A and B are shown apart, each in its own frame.
Chain A
Amino acid sequence: MSEHLVDIRNLHLSFFTPAGEVKALNDVSLFLDEGEVLGVVGESGSGKSVTASAIMGITADPGRIVSGKVIFNGHDIGSLDEKELRKIRGKEVSMIFQDPMTSLNPVYTVGNQIEEAILLHTDKNKQEARERAVELLRLVGINEPEKRIKQYPHELSGGMRQRVMIAIALACEPKLLIADEPTTALDVTIQAQILELIMELKHKLGMAVILITHDLGIVSSMCDRIAVMYAGKVIECGTTDDIFYNTKHEYTKGLLRSVPNLYEEESTRLVAIEGTPVDMLNPPAGCPFAPRCPQCMKICLKEMPPYHEFSDIHYSACWLTQKAEFEEAGKGEE
């Protein structure tokens, strides 16, 4: 049994495509405690969503866990069969997705889709489920829930649909809510409302949240801890303060540099990270970020750096920190 709510240990997950094995997750270890908010950031294809789907046990074909463990709320997800997983999904862990426009089934009413989750996981009858659905819609801040419940998704705006998705996710008061880029497809003003709503509900219901995003602005204000992913690896992980003010990995530094600054006097060009993301079919032998890293050394291209711990919860995988450490030690001896 694990003391963490989510405990991912040395997870290797691959997609076996006709073109070859794509190692989507390569030795990922992460944990999350009850009531905590973990931000997972990284560019497209870095393995953020795959990590989330592994926790839910909904890894899409042809993806498979090769080795490692995902332990959620005491369940070893990899060893459960589909039937056992279904009991966990939607009840103990829920997920909301990027695009609320397509995530709801267009041919069923909003009420039907919320009630479905309630009826699946509780003993409530139809009438009680309906009442609960109205209550949930009110909880996520939708006006006139009695009227909305009879409407179809196409009759609602994007922000409202995402609220409905959240209502579905919260139907059985899960211990963990995974929000996979919940605001990417929404207007900026709606984004803020949805994020506020998620945080408010987190406090009300005391659930843990994994927030997947590539918007550093969002994670800085919402998360307790942040994991930075690159090419299927967690390359740096620590508290929000660690990541923003005590940055260790060159990739994280690059990410922070490329955030546009509102307060700069003169308008400057946006700083970009040079190069292109890794070809996951043929990943480089060493550190995956090495080909794009401004501080790249010889060893970076040959060998993957081990994790270096700066504190109990702040660690990163970079040869530069190892080198700094080594030099520090050398100085001490002199």
Chain B
Amino acid sequence: MTKYIIKRLVMAVLTVFIVATLTFFLMNAVPGGPYEAEKSISPQAKAALEAKFGLDQPLFTQYLTYMKNILHGDFGPSLKQRGREVIDIILTKFPVSAKVGGLSVLVSLIVGIPVGCIAALNRGKASDSTIIVIATIGIAVPSFVVCSLSMYLFGVKLGWLPTVGLMSWKNYIMPVFALSFYPTAYIVRLMRSSMLDALGQDYMRTARAKGVSEAVSLFKHALRNAILPVVTYVGPMMAYTLTGSFIVEKVFTIPGLGGEFVSSITNRDYMMIMGTTIFLATLMVFINFVVDIVYKIIDPRINLK
């Protein structure tokens, strides 16, 4: 086990390194730069800014400098948000996104797993068909539609919920709903199909023949086998959801990390792009590692090597 964890750690560092390298060169390959669009800036000032942040150096030198800096935990200053360090921006904005995202993950699991099971148990009946239709809509409808519609309905028409910011718990309802809509629908469908698969297995018949009650055979024998695909999906989903959604954060004006991802790219804020990408990659690698451990706990057949 220790050997496995060490191996995974080495792999993790390697993965993040490759992601960082690829991102660095890809982002520099795109035309434009952080100070191209600003009209007011004079050529002298631009040159001075570029010299300050080392952007006048050859690309490879920039790369080496950046890599050396992040090894010391220095993610550099933001090129656009004057006077702010990338690491500070991430550390202040991530908790905001993580709070909304974490709630969304919880909601999608708490709703998705039981509803998927209910659909499987009532296969072919009206309740099953209704659940499938709703789940399909959930997968097909983009989040900006969910955001706008819920905002219009509950925020404007009915006036039940606030539409802006994160002042009280009421503020969380709509963003969490919008953010968990797709994953919930996805989990429902995954859970339904894997539950159906598990229910048809021979070991379920053995359980019945032993005299095990319906509830025990469902929760003990079927669920543990059926939940594996959901665990696989929830891993990466969690990383994406925790780091925030650009659309949901924009619509509900939430000061989260999701907005920073997109605006850093349109702004060519090189330091910010690198910082957020490395952060997401690290989170993803970590969560996948946890998922693999959880997998091993749920299914003893899985061999961690």
Which residues of A are at the interface with B, using a C-beta cutoff of 8 A?
A: 56, 58, 82, 85-91, 94-95, 97, 99, 102-108, 116-117, 120-121, 152, 154, 165, 168
Contacts and interface: CB of A to CB of B under 8 A. Distances in A.
Given A102-B201, A107-B225, A88 B211 contact: yes
Given A107-B298, A152-B301, A116 B210 contact: yes
Contact of B209 (A58, A106, A152): A58
10 contacts: A58-B209, A95-B209, A104-B203, A105-B206, A106-B225, A106-B301, A107-B225, A107-B301, A120-B212, A154-B300
B299 A107 contact: yes
A120 B299 contact: no
Nearest to B300: A152
B221 interface: yes
Given A88-B211, A116-B212, A154 B301 contact: yes
Given A105-B203, A107-B224, 13 more contacts: A82-B214, A86-B213, A89-B210, A90-B211, A90-B212, A97-B209, A104-B206, A105-B207, A106-B225, A106-B301, A116-B212, A165-B206, A168-B210
A91 B298 contact: no
Tell me the interface secondary structure of chain B in the complex: helix
B209 A56 contact: yes
A72 B301 CA distance: 39
Contacts of A85: 211
Interface in B193-225: 201-203, 205-214, 220-221, 224-225
A102 B202 contact: yes
Contacts of A95: 209
A89 B209 contact: yes
A24 B220 CA distance: 32
Nearest to B202: A102
A86 B211 contact: yes
Given A106-B299, A107-B224, A107-B225, A97 B205 contact: yes
A105 B214 contact: no
Contacts of B201: 102
B210 A102 contact: no
A82 B221 CA distance: 18
A97 B298 CA distance: 25
Contacts of B213: 86
Nearest to A87: B211
B202 A103 contact: yes
Interface string B215-257: 0000011001100000000000000000000000000000000
A117 B300 CA distance: 21
A153 B290 CA distance: 25
Contacts of A58: 205, 208-209
A117 B220 CA distance: 13
B301 A103 contact: no
B213 to A, nearest CB: 6
B294 to A, nearest CB: 13
Contacts of B221: 105, 108
A120 B207 CA distance: 11
B298 to A, nearest CB: 7
